[in-house]
Structures are given as C-alpha cells and as structure tokens.
Chain A
Amino acid sequence: MSIRQSFLAILDQGPCYGYQLRSEFERRTGSTWPLNIGQIYSTLDRLERDGLITRDDSGDSEHIYYAITTSGRAEVGAWLTSPVARPTAAARDELAMKLAIAVTLPGVDIVRMIQTQRSATLRTLQELTRTKRAGGEAASAEDLAWQLVADSMIFQAEAEIRWLDHSETRLVEAVASGVAVPVPIDDTPVRRGRPARVATEAGE
C-alpha cells in the first residue's frame, strides 16, 4: 500500500518518530489522507518486521525513532521508478456497478439517475476548483504538492462526468433502438463455476 512506501520515502530523508512521520506525510500531501495513530504504528510494525526499517537509538530518549535499512532504500528506489498498478476493469466501482444493474431493471429512469449523478459530481468539481482557486499560485513545494493532489481529484471528477455524458448518449440510443429492455430473472439451472464472460484481473 502506498502509505507504506510514502513512509519509507520520508524515512529515506532521515530518522523520524511516529507522530513526526504523520506530520511529515500530511504536510507533503495537503492533509488529503488523514492517518490515525493506530495506522501509523501498525505500518511501522510491518515495515520493521519486513526488515525495511529498524529502531534507531541514536536520537533523544523521549521518542522511538525509526531509520531506513538498505533493503528499505531499495524498496523506495523501486517505488519511485516503477508505474503504479491501477485498478483493472474488474475492480469494484460502485457507480459502474449501479449503472450496470440499473440498466437491466424495469421501471428505473436511468437517464435521470445519470443526470442526478452528474449534477452531484459537477458540484464536487466546482467545490474542488473553488478550493484550488482560493489557494492561488503555488508559492512553495508544499503548496505545489497539495495542488497536484487537488488536480488529480479534479481530473478524476471530470473523467467521471465525461463517462456519464457518454453513457447517457449510448443509453438514449439504446432505448430508441430497443436494446435497453429489462432483463428478467433467468430460471434455467445455473452451472457451477465462473461465467465465461466475467473479466479477469490483469496478471492473474
């Protein structure tokens, strides 16, 4: 998980104690993903167990400091130079699932559903844009880091709106050509095993 690699990348800059690591993480990501202290220590425990960090006794005695190991450094290097694996088509997306189910049901106004969703996503997009606008031009690396995160959310919202527009057009065409009719429950006995048409995870 990326919290783990983010911690390692920060520890690569020098030893930190738990709370310090949290504040470093949050200030570098615009506090977009708040962490509770339980998550922090369970992450540190696992990193220590895997030999990627060690407890460091050279600091003050008030806190337990953690330092990165050689294999930890290697993991940071690998993380920063390799692409992030994105969810594949089979990953669960509630909206896509809801639309897929809805299109097979009788008496659901899917166009209205799409429009309601689009209004909501558009409001989110406006909200994000307002927040970003209020920030003005980035004046520091931390501002910039936060704006990159904001941009990522803005582009995702935009992509969702475009997908909704596209779905609406397809749906209207499908209704007109008689393709989009409700799918009744199929009473023929179901064979065990996976249906052939389900997409499989990449690299499975």
Chain B
Amino acid sequence: MGDELLRLDGVSVQYGHGETSVTALTGVDLTVSRGELVAVMGASGSGKSTLLTVAGGLRTPTSGEVVVEGHYLSQLSARQIATLRRRSLGFVFQDFNLIPSLTALENVSLPLELDGLPLRRAKRPALDALAVVGLADRADRYPSDLSGGQQQRIAIARAVVGGRSLVLADEPTGALDSTTGEAVLRMLRSRVDAGAGGILVTHDARHAAWADRIVFLRDGRIVDDAQPTPITALLDGVGR
C-alpha cells in the first residue's frame, strides 16, 4: 500500500532469557497509514510501551518485521536506523526524556539540529511548535523549572517539530488536565490530518476516541474487539 507509513508483521518481544524471561509482545500485526491515528489501549504491563519502542526502531523485536516508510528495519544498519528515526519519527516518551541541561527551546530544536540545521534556522520552527503547545513564553526555561504538564507539552512539541511523518506518543496526556490534554490531542490530530501518521498510547477512552482506530493489547496480544475474547482465554491471565 502506497500510503503505508508503518507496518508490524508478527512482532514478538521477549525481555531476558530462560526462567526469568518476560514475553511482552506476541505476534503483533499492525499497520498505520498516512493520515491515520491509531490508539493503543490496554492494562498496565500489556506491552504498549514495548510496541512503541519496537515501532520506533529503539528495540529490535525477538521475531517479526518492522517496516517504516517501506524500509525493513532488519535490513538497515544501526546508523541507518538512527537516521531514519531522526528524520521520520517523533517520540513522546512516557517519562518525557527532556535533556535537563538544555532550555525548552533547545530541547525542541534538538532533532532539527541533529539533522544538520544550524541553530539559528532551527529556532523558528521550534518556537512555532512551542507556541502550539502554549509555551512560547517558557522557551528559555530549563525542564527543572517547569511543571510536569509543561514538560510533557515540551516533549510533544519536540516530537512534532519539523513535520516528522510518524508520531509515536506514549501517554502524552497523562500529566495534563482535561482541557490541556484536549489541546494536545487537537495538535496531534491536525498533524495527522495534514498527512502524518501516529500511534497514541492511552488509558483514557475519551482520548482514544480522537483516533481513527482503537486497538487493544492484552498480555502482549492484540485483541480484536469485534471478536471478543472467550472467558476461558481471559482466565489464563488470572493467577491460579
């Protein structure tokens, strides 16, 4: 499909080896097209963050294929993956991941600079992105001088700056009050409507409803809500 931005084919992820190993994802198939926002919901520990890190090339799956903009990640070198990630992917991490020694503006400019843009030219789009999240007046502050919700908005500005084509957001509205959360979703939505693609991990059905499609993870597997899981399968997850 020409419009396909991301495809996961039978992706499984196992953390560790032997007795203590944890299977975080099992045979996950997922496609995200241009102009599509997909919400991923599921209980804590169901594999949502793992899915995002694999989709963004931050972790190699134990088995299965990840295809970003037509590139099979398994066939790229680490350097090529890093370049692809920088140019095409915007990440919002569950724990923000801002760099403490850089100001808000420098944090947001960073992906553009890493891509070879001189700081003076990176500033403009970075300021624009900060304005969208309502923090243009905090551009010169350091993360430690900002509230949790403000740091989260900076992280979101950093993920969308310069029009990256795939935005992967892990609970981007977690620390926000409901109106600010909605502003963030509006922004994400407008990026996607302008031709990007996105995955939005959230616990909140109200936020997931902004997506075109909602998928559920249960114990590392995607469960199709059109075909509800029989109770016997659910019981496997209950300690007995």
Contacts and interface: CB of A to CB of B under 8 A. Distances in A.
B231 A111 contact: yes
Interface in A105-136: 109, 111-112, 115-116, 118-119, 122, 125-126, 128-129, 133
Contact of B228 (A111, A126, A128): A111
A122 B205 contact: yes
A111 B225 CA distance: 12
Contacts of B229: 111, 115
Contacts, number: 56
A45 interface: no
A109 B210 contact: no
Interface stretch (B7-15, B100-108, B232-240): B232-240
A122 B228 contact: no
B2 interface: no
Contact of A154 (B206, B225, B234): B206
Contacts of A183: none
A57 B205 CA distance: 53
A12 interface: no
Contacts of B48: none
Nearest to B213: A126
B interface, over-half SS: loop
Given A158-B206, A162-B205, A119 B225 contact: yes
B140 interface: no
**Residue of B189, B234, B235, B237 contacting most chain A CB atoms (<10 Å):** B234
Interface stretch (A30-38, A62-70, A75-83, A169-177): A169-177
B76 interface: no
A11 interface: no
A173 B238 contact: yes
A176 B189 CA distance: 41
Q: Which 5 A-B pairs have the closest CB atoms?
A: A115-B228, A129-B209, A158-B206, A161-B205, A125-B209
Interface of B: 186, 189, 204-206, 208-211, 214, 225-226, 228-231, 234-235, 237-238, 240
